[in-house]
Structure 1
Amino acid sequence: MELLRQPPATKGPAEWFTGDVWFDVIHRGEEPSRSRANLVRFAPGARTAWHSHGLGQSLLIVAGVALVQARGDRLIEAHPGDVIWTPPGEEHWHGAAPGYFMSHLALWEGDDTTWLEHVTETDYTATPQTTRR
């Protein structure tokens, strides 16, 4: 067993995010492992740009209210405990709902992420479908 020293939190670059986003690297597997895990914190209104992952991605919503959307699909409002799976190659975005902070645990494999354009205000402010039961 080993206690791993974690690097300081990293501010998300403006090329990949709108608004203030910070992430902590929880795990970055070394070959032959490709596993990755980050805890990502979004300020109200902050979000990723459209992007995709070569091997897919899972998000566990830890706190706050999230908005997630796959390209061409409906906007979804997600809450703590919800898990979002994005299949390999699917273009999507995720972030904090207006007025709410949001944190999620992101799990994926490898470094094959393709970053695309920023999410428009029209897409971000669409009426979401909620996961609340």
Structure 2
Amino acid sequence: MEQPSKPPTSKGSAATFTGDVWIDPITRGLPLSQLNVAVVRFSPGARTAWHSHEGGQTLYVTEGQGLVQARGQQVVELKPGDVIFAPDGEEHWHGADPDHFMTHLSITEGAPHWGAHVTDDEYAGAASQERPEGSRE
């Protein structure tokens, strides 16, 4: 069995993230596969821009507390052990809550499609909403 070299940790791009986000790729679509798996660490208040994924995205929260929201839906609070699935093409954002770090495993198929940043006003409104806890699959 071959063990591929592990890419280094990288800082999330300011074009697609707000705040400090660090990404540790686990696998990046080997030939004939579009599977991407990464550990993503968000500092308090850090978040993605609005985005969607071809083939969808599964998030598995491993530590901390976070938030996720699909366009036009309620914000969902994330805690360790929560699993969230965004189906193919569903625009959403996710990140840490204002007072905690949050780490999740991101599992995607296909390329992401990035949109506008989640504004500070959108995030502040989301962070102050009453939120149901994430769903466990």
What TM-score does the superposition give when structure 2 sets the normalisation length? Answer: 0.91
Classify 1:56/1:45 alpha carbon distance in 2 versus 1 (closer, same or farther; 3 Å). Answer: same
How many angstroms apart in 2 are the aligned matches of 1:128 and 1:89? 26
Q: Which amino acid aligns with 1:50?
A: W
The CA RMSD measured in Å over matched residues stands at: 1.2
How many angstroms apart in 2 are the aligned matches of 1:49 and 1:67? 13
1:73-112 matches, cutoff 5 A? 73-110=73-110, 112=111
How many angstroms apart in 2 are the aligned matches of 1:3 and 1:87? 31
Q: Which amino acid aligns with 1:34?
A: Q
1:44 has 2:44 as partner:
yes
- Structure-1 residue corresponding to 2:133: 131
Moved more, 16-25 or 114-123: 114-123
1:122 has 2:121 as partner:
yes
**Deviation, structure 1 residue 2:** 2.6
**Deviation, structure 1 residue 88:** 0.5
Q: Which amino acid aligns with 1:30?
A: L
- Structure-1 residue corresponding to 2:27: 27
Q: Could you list the per-position Cα deviations for residues 87-126 of structure 1 after superposition, in whole angstroms to 9, with x for gaps in the alignment?
A: 001100000000100000000112x211110102232122
How many angstroms apart in 2 are the aligned matches of 1:29 and 1:2? 16
Count of residues paired in the alignment: 131
Q: Which amino acid aligns with 2:28?
A: R
**Deviation, structure 1 residue 3:** 2.7
Secondary structure of the residue aligned to 2:103 is: strand
**Deviation, structure 1 residue 128:** 4.2
Contact 1:50 1:118 in 2 (8 A): yes
**Deviation, structure 1 residue 29:** 2.6
**Deviation, structure 1 residue 130:** 3.3
**Deviation, structure 1 residue 4:** 2.8
Secondary structure of the residue aligned to 2:63 is: strand
Moved more, 116-125 or 20-29: 116-125
Contact 1:95 1:102 in 2 (8 A): yes
Q: Which amino acid aligns with 1:130?
A: P
Q: Which runs of 5+ in 2 are unaligned?
A: none
